[in-house]
Amino acid sequence: MATITNHMPTAELQALDAAHHVHPFSTQADLEKSGVRVITGAKGVWLTDSEGSEILDAMAGLWCVNIGYGRDELADVAARQMRELPYYNTFFMTSHVPVIALSAKLAELAPGDLNHTFFASSGSEANDTNLRLVRTYWGEKGKPSKQVIISRWNAYHGSSVGSASLGGMKGMHAQGGLPIPGIHYINQPDWWSEGGDMSPEDFGLARAQELEQAIIDLGEDNVAAFIAEPIQGAGGVIIPPETYWPEIQRICDKYEILLIADEVICGFGRTGSWFGSQTVGIRPDIMTIAKGLSSGYQPIGGSILSDEVAAVIGATEFNHGYTYSGHPVASAVALENLRILEEEKIVDTLRDDTGPYLKAKFEEMAEHPMVGEAKIIGAMGSLALTPDKGARAKFAADAGTVGYMVRERCFANNLVMRHVGDRMIISPPLTITKGEIDTLIARAWQSLDEGMANVKDAGLF
Ligand code: PMP
């Protein structure tokens, strides 16, 4: 077989990809028809494809490239670590310097007494760990009946059997016999779509109080934990009303259940604080981390545990672990990523300078005739598309039809923006400059205008 390189014609790369590569969250038949976009390089917020197009990545890959693409320091650290110690495990009373250093750094950065990290290679694995961990915790505390984990419809916590069960994506549950038993779902705090005639404040409280009702219905003695993303990401960047999280914290304090904040997207600066829990003002017992931990340069995730949870779990053998838990190369790269985030004040700049600039420009898009709600927190934002803003109406087509039409225009305009149903979402690298924000917004407006023309042609607007 000929060597496959960046210089091969795109059509050949596409044909090979369609023939041999099975893609996540894709309809394989569509890929065979239209051909994938082949990304060949990246720098900062810019991707290059095999046709030489320069594409602004307003999704930071999959919400993960927080420091931007192309940082040589991370490549250098990876090469150095591979030469020195490419692999060793952390089972059976062994450790190594990169994982020791990373664990200590995370204890310093994470709020409160979240001082202990159990490592995984992804957010899904880390949430699988959490599932077993919280149930084990209560068993060790002499309360083995506390097994149920409460989650939310439209939450995303991963794709493995455990983490997809923890998630509340009905389309995922429909495939592969999910969810596993012992997970209970309450409704999400999405005022735009589900708030009806309530004020956002009342709706936020009502949705939080569903947690209290669920605990009462299930029995406090049967509930182990509540898991939630501080800001739902894959569900459409749902920024809850301000009343929501304080009420959730009150309920968690009142009843004996653990709070798991899934920080896989929100962690490492995405919301303008180091962790989303700080932005929304909660005190979790466990935080799930991944993505921005290494800015996606290496696959690494984990669960950061409070002193109390770690003490209980640590008192016995926790029969759980991954070959790559605390992988030395991934740990070294994550540590270097954290150094850059901290020393270059990337989170502070987003919070104080570029974030407010992006927010002002992004929220102006609410003036577009097809945009009802334009909300953003830090560098994660969402536009709710609607044919009638006043009524917060849905389009007369399957959810996602219009979102997909706008997404197509974004693609054509060299802007990576994702659609979740009929919401358009962004999550760019945190290092995006004001000039790049202007380009992002200009391309988004243009894509909305062109998308709206197509939506009108289809008789949906
Ligand atoms: N939790 C959240 C909140 C996520 O957004 C994701 C990924 N999008 C995951 C967990 C799963 O992470 P991974 O894809 O690394 O398994």
216 and 338 fall within a common domain: yes
Q: Clarify whether residues 60 and 195 are in a common domain.
A: no
* 152 Cβ inside 6 Å of ligand 1: no
Same domain for 272 and 374, yes or no, is no
Residue 312 in any domain: the answer is: yes
Determine the residue type at 124. Answer: S
Query: What pTM was computed for the model?
Result: 0.98
Q: Buried (b) or exposed (e) across 180-203, using 16+ Cβ within 10 A?
A: eeebbbbebbbbbbbbeeeebeeb
Residue 423 maps to which CATH number?
3.90.1150.10
The three-point CA angle 90-301-138 to 5° equals 75
* Integer angstrom CA distances of residue 160 from 127, 137, 147, 156, 428: 9, 22, 19, 11, 26
Q: Please tell me whether residue 445 adopts helix, strand or coil conformation.
A: helix
Fill in the DSSP letter of residue 44: B
270 pocket-lining for ligand 1 (C-beta < 6 Å): no
Instruction: Using the mean position of ligand 1's atoms as its centre, give its distance from the Cα of residue 267 in Å.
Output: 11
Which ligand 1 atom is nearest residue 125's CA?
A: 16
Residues 112 and 241 in one domain: yes
State whether 338 and 218 are in the same domain: yes
Residue 69 is given by DSSP the state B
Ligand 1 centroid to Cα of residue 114, in Å, is 20
Note the pLDDT of residue 31. 86
- The Å distance, Cα 63 to ligand 1 centre, comes to 9
Tell me, yes or no, whether 352 lies in a domain.
yes
CA distance 461 to 452: 8
Residue 428 lies in a domain: yes
Handedness of CA 245, 246, 251, 256 (dihedral sign): positive
Do 357 and 244 share a structural domain?
no
Rg (CA), the chain: 22
CA distances from 320 to 84, 146, 175, 450 (A): 27, 20, 26, 51
Here the contacts of 163-167 (C-beta below 8 Å, separation 24 or greater) are: 163/123, 163/124, 163/125, 163/127, 163/128, 163/131, 164/124, 166/127, 166/130, 166/131, 166/227
8 A C-beta contact, residue 227 and residue 277 = no
Query: Same structural domain for residues 161 and 250?
Result: yes
**Hey, what amino acid is at 96?**
H
386 lines ligand 1 (CB under 6 A): no
Q: Are 223 and 186 in contact (CB under 8 A)?
A: no
Does residue 428 line the site of ligand 1, with CB under 6 A?
A: no
- Is 155 a pocket residue for ligand 1 (Cβ < 6 Å)? no
Same-domain pairing of 273 and 369: no
Find out whether the beta carbon of 299 lies less than 6 Å from any atom of ligand 1.
no
Q: Is residue 293 within 6 Å of ligand 1 at its C-beta?
A: no
Report which residue type is found at 169: M
Beta strands 54-57 and 148-152, pairing class? unpaired
Say yes or no: 93 and 196 in one domain.
yes
The verdict on 51 and 146 lying in the same domain is no
Q: Is the peptide bond before 240 cis (omega within 30 degrees of 0)?
A: no
Contacts of residue 441, Cβ cutoff 8 Å, sequence gap at least 6: 361, 362, 364, 365
Measure 158 CA to ligand 1 centroid, in angstroms. Answer: 5
Give the mutation target among 151, 157, 159, 293 for probing the ligand 1 site: most ligand atoms within 8 A of CB: 157
Q: Whose CA is nearest to atom 12 of ligand 1?
A: 123
Which of 319, 343, 367 terminates a domain? The answer is: 343
Cβ distance 402 to 371 under 8 Å?
A: no
Tokens of 186: 């309450």
Pairing of strands 258-262, 148-152: unpaired
For 310, counting Cβ atoms within 10 Å of its Cβ (0-12 exposed, 13-18 middle, 19+ buried), the class is buried
**pLDDT of the residue at 26:** 92
Residue 5 inside a domain? The answer is: no
Domain boundary among 309, 343, 377: 343
84 C-alpha to ligand 1 centroid (Å): 30
Q: Tell me the three state secondary structure of residue 210.
A: helix
Q: Which of 394, 159, 430, 147 is nearest to 269 (CA)?
A: 430
Task: Estimate the share of the chain in helix, then strand, then coil, as percent rounded to the nearest 5.
Answer: 45, 15, 40
Which residue's CA lies nearest to atom 13 of ligand 1? 123
> Is residue 124 in contact with ligand 1, taking CB distance under 6 Å?
yes
CA of 230 to the centre of ligand 1 (A): 13
Q: Which atom of ligand 1 is nearest to the CA of 229?
A: 3
Domain membership of residue 21 (yes or no) is no
Q: Which domain holds residue 298?
A: 72-343
Q: For residue range 156-186, what is the model confidence (pLDDT) as tens digits?
A: 999 999 999 999 999 999 999 999 999 999 9
The answer, yes or no, to whether any atom of ligand 1 lies below 6 A from the CB of 133, is: no
Beta strands in 192-282 (DSSP E): 223-228, 258-262
Asked if 307 and 392 sit in the same domain, the reply is no
For 45-65, give the secondary structure using H, E and C.
CEEEECCCCEEEECCHHHHCC
Q: In angstroms, what CA-CA distances link 409 with 82, 163, 178, 264?
A: 42, 33, 35, 29
Q: Is residue 27 part of a domain?
A: no
Cα(10) to centroid of ligand 1, in Å? Answer: 30
Counting every residue written for the chain, the total comes to: 461
Q: Yes or no: say if 168 and 187 are a contact pair by the CB < 8 Å rule.
A: no
425 close to ligand 1 (CB < 6 Angstrom): no
Dihedral sign, Cα of residue 209, residue 212, residue 213, residue 218 = positive
Pocket lining: 166 vs ligand 1, CB cutoff 6 Å? no
Low-confidence stretches of the chain (pLDDT < 70) are none
**In this structure, are residues 131 and 208 in contact, taking their beta carbons and an 8 Å threshold?**
no
d(CA 295, ligand 1 centre) in Å: 13
Give domain status of residue 16, yes or no.
no
Q: What CATH number is associated with residue 305?
A: 3.40.640.10
296 lines ligand 1 (CB under 6 A): no
* Domains held by the chain: number: 2
Question: Are 422 and 402 within 8 A, CB to CB?
Answer: yes
Residues 339 and 240 in one domain: yes
